[in-house]
Structure 1
Amino acid sequence: MPLLESPMDTNPFKPDFTWGAAAASYQIEGAAHADDKGLSVWDIFCQQPGKVAGGDNGVVACDHYHRSIDDVQLMSEIGLQAYRLSISWPRVLPAGVGTVNQEGLDFYDRLVDCLLSHNIQPWVTLFHWDYPYDLYCRGGWLNRDSADWFADYTQVIVDKLSDRVQHWIPQNEPQCFIGLGHQQGEHAPGLKLSLREMLLAAHHSFLAHGKSVQVIRDRAQLPPTIGTALVGIVAIPATDSPADIEAARKATLSVKAKNCWNNTWFADPILRGEYPADGLQLFREHLPEISAEDLKTMHQPLDFYGLNIYQGYTVTAKPNGGYTFVSPAVGAPRTTMDWPITPEALYWGPKFIHERYQLPIAITENGMANSDWVHHDGQVHDPQRIDFLKGYLGAFGDAIASGIPAKGYFLWSIMDNFEWAYGYQKRFGIIHVDYGTQQRTLKDSAHWYKQVIASQGEVLRR
């Protein structure tokens, strides 16, 4: 395997490569009922007993809504070149449509100004799962009008922020907010829909994505750069043999099961204007109506493919041209999310996705949950995270060196936060948050990442 065997010969991270970190509104902002914010499906989901570990919720979270200036100062101290934030739809439009909540909109207006004053570029995600509860009561993603509701919301944000914001991502991980939220019931709104209904909700989210891109292109005051933030589900070849590599490519780019855990069902409509043939065959008895006009609306020009990659799985070729899964070795390393540590995923994922879609790659999320605490010396020592990041960034550097065009890397997450159904049990941040006092402490990984950014990745070669 051409990965991680030795330091990179030359630094593949060029001066125009963007180093950032990411977070999501519901996970950090808190202020869930402040300043006329509307309810989201997550506000309601967290009120249901047994849905979230510990009965946790996002009512306070990291209190970023009231501490954003200090948080941006910490981002600046780390040296971030960009911050991928998301906007809470019901904070800006409490009912999801109609009257704008000026206080909510002004929060993001001030946040963007604060980021820019610290030379941090805002990359704005318009939807990171906190869907307005009022619109959910009107059918949510099952209602075809959701595409127009999302377009109208997009216009409000673009008209306010696009004189300063250039980087836009309409939606984060539809595989999760549709799959976990509407098929498996593990995330808000907690539904377990039929396959037909799940596919319909996904179809409407693709329409919403396309209409959002149209609004951004039409109304942005600065030339926009628009991309995705899709789950990257990556198959890793067991060896570097051509057969195993082809098997991994097929596994990465195929629709294999009647669920949302694939790449192409969620990327092909918006990037190629068609649904993948194997998915159409697999789902043939459950498909929504798919019109040429819908596909045209979904298929809007994008500037980069954003991949959220945390892990991969290994496959090997079968003699008949198929593939089979290779089980991890006994005792193989895992994060506290119980996810395997597979740095090669940041080589093969960008490679296979770029080959299919011919777009530059941005890693819009990558990181690990670790068991972190403030030590007796007042510091947070997380060598596992540093080792994890060094391996994954090394693999991404190898992908870039092999010819894959790359726009940037966004570490997940800037700070510990509400980890959805896991509540506050999992810590992904490079800044430690004491949820009782809201005290922030830069972890060792934050100081290390500062060196990575300052050297433009050069320290990864040491």
Structure 2
Amino acid sequence: MNFSRSQFPEGFDFGVSTSSYQIEGHDFGGAGPTHWDTFAATPGNVVRAEHGGRACDHYHRYREDLDLVAAGGFDVYRFSTSWARVLPEGTGQVNAEGLDFYDRLVDAMLERGLKPAATLYHWEMPSALADRGGWMNRDVASWFAEFTEVITDRLGDRLWSVAPINEPWCVGWMSHFLGHHAPGLRDIRATARAMHHVLLAHGRSIEVMRGKGQENLGAVFNFEWAEPADDSPEAARAAQTFDGYLNRFFVEGVFRGRYPDSVLEGFAPHLPENYQDDFPLITQKLDWCGLNYYTRKLCAPTDGAWPHQTEVEGPLPKTLMGWEIYPEGLYQSLKRLHEYAGDIPLYITENGLASPDVVKDGAVDDQPRIDYLEAHFAAARRAIDEGVPLAGYFVWSLMDNYEWALGYEKRFGLVHVDFDSLERTPKASYHALKRALA
């Protein structure tokens, strides 16, 4: 890999990211049911109806997995906590076994010299709360505040950083408008309310943690660089709309206390009454901001209802996900996030590639992943050289895992997982990064 740690600023943090439901094995440890269990059990939602019941069995193998993180020379392990593992009903009685697991997990990170970077929610809403409307119900902010308090009281003294919610666009739009993720709705009113309530819950969570003295609090947004599919004014407007509901809705909400006009064009009749009154809570000070980046989208106009926009296939090489490889978009997104966030540190909290990796003679040759990461590291260095306060870069993901509606087909890991035997095999990309970080 054509880069080294020395090419980045002193103290720059390199890490890997995972999420609870994708690796832990949700059947273990007394976890309660989630809307992902329901979604996966509904025919047609997930490839082969696969679910996270066993996943990578990280619940039992976490020490082995953290050994791989430490041996790879990484500084940070970004993980998430499962709401339903800790509070099986979403509120009320704590599942001691589940909370004890995260206690052991954090201690194991510290024992290996790793910085624990926690994300409180990565898409697995407890079923009991989904039954009460989930993200469509304004009370979700109070429910999430209770969960935040439980985690903070138990783990907060040892967490290096905390973000409340991973990728609010996926929680809101992908799950309530496109129907691709749980709860699988296609309803604009549900979407508008869910997207606002996600930010409200983010604000309440930050408020709770600040009140308890928790430090190094941030937010994690996913970005896709939006470009018009052609030179027409209609395509430019389509790209602006896409950019509005995917990228700008959340960063403008958190950093500007407003929503983009291009999104209000569709959302205005459906947002909660007096939603503007929530912005003082939503816009609380953050200590850092994270960006998850994978690809760009080419946008074209369509007829019919708002958003009058669709995505078209681009000409660039693509990953196994069908996503164009476009490192320039990472550079541009970092520059833009810096404009919104000001001088607080930024982190690339996810970036990576899916490829059809196979073990051959005990090894996995994933040169496309090495090439992808190398190009995106170069884009990150370019942003740093131009004054972006980028402080860390976390690769998605440590290991192959449950890729939500795509089941176990799409492999993003630096470590290969045999989903029958659960054997871990570090890939060529893992070894290349290990050498680069040494």
Q: Same fold per TM (> 0.5)?
A: yes
State the Cα RMSD in Å: 2.6
- Cα distance between partner residues in 2 of 1:286 and 1:326: 28
Residue 280 of structure 1 and its aligned partner are, at CA, apart by 2.6
Q: What displacement does 1:360 show?
A: 2.6
Aligned to 1:3: none
Is the 1:179–1:260 Cα contact (8 Å) retained in structure 2? no
Alignment partner of 1:301: what SS?
A: coil
Alignment of 1:12-411 (within 5 A): 13-30=8-25, 32-193=26-187, 195-220=188-213, 224-235=215-226, 256-257=241-242, 261-313=245-297, 328-329=314-315, 332-358=316-342, 359-375=344-360, 377-411=361-395
1:373 partner letter: V
- Match for 2:179: what amino acid? G
Residues 281 and 181 from structure 1, CA distance in 2 versus in 1: closer, same or farther, beyond 3 angstroms?
closer
Q: What one-letter code is carried by the residue in structure 1 that aligns with 2:347?
A: A
* 1:363 maps to amino acid: I
Structure 2: which 5+ runs fail to align? Answer: 300-310
Deviation, 1:326, is 9.9
The residue identity in structure 1 corresponding to 2:375 is G
Structure 1 residue 356, shift from structure 2 partner:
2.7
Task: State whether residues 347 and 395 of structure 1, in contact with CA within 8 Å, keep that contact through their aligned partners in structure 2.
Answer: yes
Percent identity at matched positions?
44
1:407-426 matches, cutoff 5 A:
407-426=391-410
Contact residue 255 and residue 265 of structure 1 kept, 8 A? no
| CA–CA distance in structure 2, aligned partners of residues 115 and 433 of structure 1 | 21
Pairing 1:430–2:430 present? no
CA distance in 1 between partners of 2:189 and 2:244 (Å): 12
User: 1:235 touches 1:348 (CA, 8 Å); kept in 2?
Assistant: no
Q: Alpha-carbon deviations, 1:96-131, whole Å to 9, x = none?
A: 000101100000000000001101101000000011
Deviation at 1:357, TM superposition (A): 2.6
Give the TM-score taking structure 1 as reference length.
Answer: 0.86
Q: Does 1:447 align with 2:438?
A: no
Q: Which residue of structure 1 lines up, in the alignment, with residue 304 of structure 2? A: none
Take 1:402 and 1:296, find their aligned partners in 2: how far apart are those partners?
Answer: 32
AA aligned to 1:232 is F
Instruction: Measure the CA separation in 1 of the matches of 2:286 and 2:127.
Output: 29
Alpha-carbon deviation of 1:185? 1.3
Shift of 1:33: 2.8
Q: Distance between the aligned counterparts of 2:417 and 2:196, measured in 1?
A: 38
Structure 1 unaligned segments of length 5 or more: list them: 1-6, 239-243, 316-324, 455-462
Q: Residues of 1 paired with 2:237 and 2:20: CA distance? A: 33
Task: State the distance in 2 between where 1:390 and 1:281 align.
Answer: 40
Shift of the alpha carbon at 1:46?
Answer: 1.1
TM-score, scaled relative to structure 2: 0.91
Contact 1:22 1:83 in 2 (8 A): yes
CA 1:403–1:77: 2 relative to 1, 3 Å: same
User: C-alpha displacement at 1:336, in angstroms?
Assistant: 0.5
Alignment length (residue pairs): 423
After superposition, what is the alpha-carbon deviation per residue over 1:248-267, rounded to whole angstroms, capped at 9, x for unaligned? xx989x8515x984211112
CA contact (8 A) 1:235 1:251 kept: no
| Cα-to-partner distance string for 1:130-150 (whole Å, 9 max, x where unaligned) | 110110011111111100000
Which whole-Å deviations, capped at 9, do the CAs of 1:392-413 have from their partners, x for residues lacking one?
1111111111110012111000
**1:256 partner SS:** helix
- The whole-number CA distance in structure 2 between the counterparts of 1:9 and 1:110 is 32
Match of 2:294, SS state, is coil
Which residue identity does 1:29 align to in structure 2?
E
Contact 2:28 2:59 in 1 (8 A): no
Cα distance in 2 between the residues matched to 1:36 and 1:137: 20
**Structure 1 counterpart of 2:189, which letter?**
R
- Going from structure 1 to structure 2, the CA distance change for 1:345 and 1:108 (only over 3 Å counts) comes to same
